[in-house]
């Protein structure tokens, strides 16, 4: 069994918790994920099974889409609902058009300072380790990009919106920055990841589905071939296929990139073409 399984991660489960459950339920150690999702967050968590763990390097850079609820008038040290309240403030009623205007102002490339309570490493230690010890350290701003900001609702000091963004975007920080431009303070109350590139929550299955055998895991798995369905295709003759499998680089006058490799109509795996030389990368289960 190999491929990508889209899990709708439940609240209070860490990404590693999900991996551990699947290792047990699927009876395999070759299970991984493409990037953590906070325990309090829910939604899309792509899980890699079998040789698909080798394609993680191609999936970690993908854009993501989130459904967010932020609570105005309160600031916490972690910028989410788990943190210690640092400040509360009365919030004047906001105009929805103003909220939409502020949300739109975040579109495009920009620098963002990750929160202190994050796993970013500074001098060999994670930022949250410094924060828990009451130490203040400087965190270097990182370039992110916001592709879409869609207002959903404003009610009872809460703003809900959809954001599509690049890898490395901290939604907790985004909520804080939005509040600042609105002249108030806030924290991230709820977070659901609805998309990771081609992986959508409508295709996700739950931990409960797997544990209680409500759905067939094999039917839910997305094959490596399907994940890379938009990539180019190279068909190898039998003699060249053996060279390819043995690690010999083959010459092709084509553009650089990741290619799906076939023997006739049979999918063999992935190859990387660089400077007209094709080398093997990921071979599907049972081919060698």
Q: At 129, which helix (H) or strand (E)?
A: helix 127-132
Identify which of 186, 183, 192, 182 has the alpha carbon closest to the alpha carbon of residue 105: 182
Identify which of 201, 220, 214, 213 has the alpha carbon closest to the alpha carbon of residue 10: 201
CA torsion sign for 92, 95, 100, 105 is negative
Residue 158 CA to residue 174 CA, distance in Å, equals: 15
The C-alpha angle with vertex 198 and arms to 68 and 99, in degrees rounded to 5, equals: 25
CB of 283 closer than 8 Å to CB of 55: no
Is-catalytic flag, 38? yes
β-bridge partners, 284: none
Residue 19 CA to residue 14 CA, distance in Å, equals: 9
Residue 87 tokens, joined: 């400040």
| 230 burial type by CB count under 10 A (0-12 exposed, 13-18 middle, 19+ buried) | exposed
Choosing from 12, 17, 38, 253, the catalytic residue is 38
Positions annotated as catalytic residues are 38
């Amino acid at each position: 069994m190999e491929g990508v399984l889209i899990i709708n991660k439940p609240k209070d489960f860490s990404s590693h918790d999900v991996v551990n459950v699947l290792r047990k339920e699927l009876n395999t150690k070759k299970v991984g994920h493409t990037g953590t999702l906070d325990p309090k967050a829910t939604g899309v968590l792509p899980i890699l099974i079998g040789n698909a763990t080798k394609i993680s390097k191609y999936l970690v850079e993908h854009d993501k889409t989130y459904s967010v609820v932020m609570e105005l008038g309160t600031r916490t040290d972690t910028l989410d609902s788990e943190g210690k309240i640092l400040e509360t403030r009365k919030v004047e009623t906001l105009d929805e058009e103003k909220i939409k205007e502020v949300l739109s102002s975040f579109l495009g490339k920009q620098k963002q300072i990750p929160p202190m309570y994050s796993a970013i490493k500074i001098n060999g230690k994670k930022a949250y380790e410094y924060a828990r010890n009451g130490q203040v350290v400087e965190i270097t701003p990182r370039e992110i990009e916001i592709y879409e900001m869609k207002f959903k609702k404003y009610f009872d000091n809460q703003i809900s919106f959809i954001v599509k963004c690049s890898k490395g975007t901290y939604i907790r920080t985004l909520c804080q920055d939005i509040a600042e431009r609105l002249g108030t303070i806030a924290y991230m109350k709820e977070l659901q990841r609805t998309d990771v590139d081609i992986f959508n929550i409508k295709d996700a299955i739950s931990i409960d589905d797997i544990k209680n055998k409500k759905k067939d895991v094999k039917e839910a798995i997305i094959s490596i071939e399907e994940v890379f369905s938009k990539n180019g295709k190279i068909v190898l003759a039998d003699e060249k296929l053996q060279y390819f499998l043995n690690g010999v680089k083959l010459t092709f006058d084509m553009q650089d990139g990741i290619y799906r490799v076939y023997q006739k109509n049979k999918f063999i795996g992935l190859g990387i073409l660089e400077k007209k030389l094709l080398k093997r990368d990921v071979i599907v289960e049972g081919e060698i």
